[in-house]
Amino acid sequence: MPKAADLKKGHIVQINSQPYIVSQIEVKSPSSRSGTTLYKVRFNHVQTKQKLDQSFTGDDVLTFIDFQKRPVQFLYLDADGYTFMDNEDFAQFALNAEQLEEQLPYLHDGIEGLYGLLVEGNLVGIELPAVVEMAIEETPPAIKGSSASARTKTARFATGLEIQIPEYLETGEVVRINTESGKFMSRA
């Protein structure tokens, strides 16, 4: 039986005999010596999408639910939601914006490395790759000679994502972004 300290975003656990997917984890370390680390976790119910916030200590035991992790491809967005295709059996699944709340800024045409989380044959969520490559849609002009400085400017991407990038980058350049922290990593 896994402990709360082993939880990761995207894991599916059983709470009150119901399946919940982990959407956020906040770790709070106390400053006193005898304090225990607290894990504040936000879950979303797999079927109803209802949010549930709970706090655990690192030793609290949780029950994981068996799920499949399969490679998927983002196809398109329409009135029904975001449509994904299983790369192995070509089955198509739709998820709405609320189910993908945290991942929407990184979903773009041609994204690679997506995995679908399936419980009993139903897609309940996706797992993003650790790093995505995206082209800068809009940013102020590059400043000559600024490559040695550590100053940053805001860049906007086609998905609506806005992050801080170094001043020397220009519109149209492809950059690598960490999906866990939402921070610029490097040029692609």
Q: Which residue has the higher pLDDT, 84 or 127?
A: 84
The CA distance from 50 to 66, in Å, is: 20
Closest CA to 43 of 29, 24, 17: 24
CATH 2.40.50.140 residue ranges of the chain are: 68-127, 131-187
148 pLDDT above the threshold of 60: no
What percent of the chain lies above the pLDDT cut of 70? 94
- In order of 10, 80, 96, 112, 115, the CA distances from 89 in angstroms are 22, 21, 22, 17, 14
Question: For position 1, what pLDDT does the model report?
Answer: 65
| pLDDT tens sequence across 57-116 | 888 888 888 888 899 999 998 888 899 999 999 999 998 887 787 789 999 988 999 999
16 pLDDT above the threshold of 60: yes
Average pLDDT over residues 154-173: 93
Task: State whether CATH 2.30.30.30 applies to domain 4-64.
Answer: yes
Question: For position 134, what pLDDT does the model report?
Answer: 95
**Would you state the structure tokens that stand for residue 23, as one six-digit string?**
């959407």
CATH no. for 131-187: 2.40.50.140
Task: Kindly tell me the burial class for residue 153, based on how many C-beta atoms sit within 10 Å of its own C-beta (0-12, 13-18, 19 or more).
Answer: middle
The pTM score is 0.73
CATH no. for 68-127: 2.40.50.140
What's the CA dihedral at 119, 110, 88, 94 to 10 degrees?
40
CATH 2.30.30.30 residue ranges of the chain are: 4-64
